[in-house]
Structure 1
Amino acid sequence: MRTLVPTPLTAEGFAPFGSVIEADPASAVGINAGFTTRFHGLAEIDVEGAAPILSIFRGRPRPLVIDMLERHPQGSQAFFPLGGHPWLVVCAEAPGEALHAFLCRGDQGAQIGRGIWHFPLLTLASQDFLVADRAAPEANVEIAALSDPAELVI
């Protein structure tokens, strides 16, 4: 089995797959008489044919073997950890092509673009995630098994 070593999540490195969600001082705006700082416009929810929704996903650690990918052709997915623990995002241009693994800090989220191939939620510690995605009763997922799985090494 091949090995895959994640790189730190950065806006530049993750750009082909989506955007990084973090409290960037460049987007900071003081509100509520100076008692609150708003980090404005960190992600735009991209959905087609349904409403965007917020959910909480309760993630648990799983084996670090990347043996399949999925994508959502009708909407993006944004994940933000609520427990402050590091987590991982694995993406690819297409099944069978190079895998890209990103190690996310516990204060970073990631928005995976519509139609981008990725591995499901992969957390290193049990924690909740705030997730923004598409609400609709019909299926919005395609799954592809990988003939050459990879093991993440941290």
Structure 2
Amino acid sequence: MEDCPITIETINLVPMVPKKDKKESSNKFKFTEILLILSALGVVVFLVLLVINPNKEAAEARNLKRTADVSMILSYISSYANTVFSIPEEIPQSSECVQYGNEICKTGPFNCTDLVNMGFLSENNGDALVVMPNDPLYISVNGTGYFVSNNGNGSVTVCAPHAERNKEISFSKYIY
């Protein structure tokens, strides 16, 4: 026994596994590192979607279209009234804009029973309204989703009751 010096290898009965160099494994990603990166990326995407909120942006875009449509309809009614020097009798007199019988009928061969026929805007007029605009989400066979009323004192109101996100879209103009 004197020939063999006592070392750590001779004392341990379990053979030692040689250690790997750290330089070889530094180029490879571990599974936990990949999971950590993916979860961080997921959190960032979630926060970006939370800030952007595509549903809110779409609702605001539809409300913007409603606002433009209501303004355009009122502008055409005003232009027509200035041409004939009176408020069209097709526009019902009521104190509320949104009432049964105040919804504007679509342009074309539609049944306008219980709806306001705005065909006078598309008649032989130099500045005629070709197609009556429709509410972006309102689905009706004959109606547009927009309402019109005359308060009896010369003021015409056009409104969009189906506006989203608790917004009220209504324009009034004193014509006569």
TM-score normalised to structure 2 length: 0.18
Higher RCO by CA contacts (8 Å cutoff, separation 6 or greater): 1
TM-score normalised to structure 1 length: 0.20
Pick the structure with more helix per residue.
2
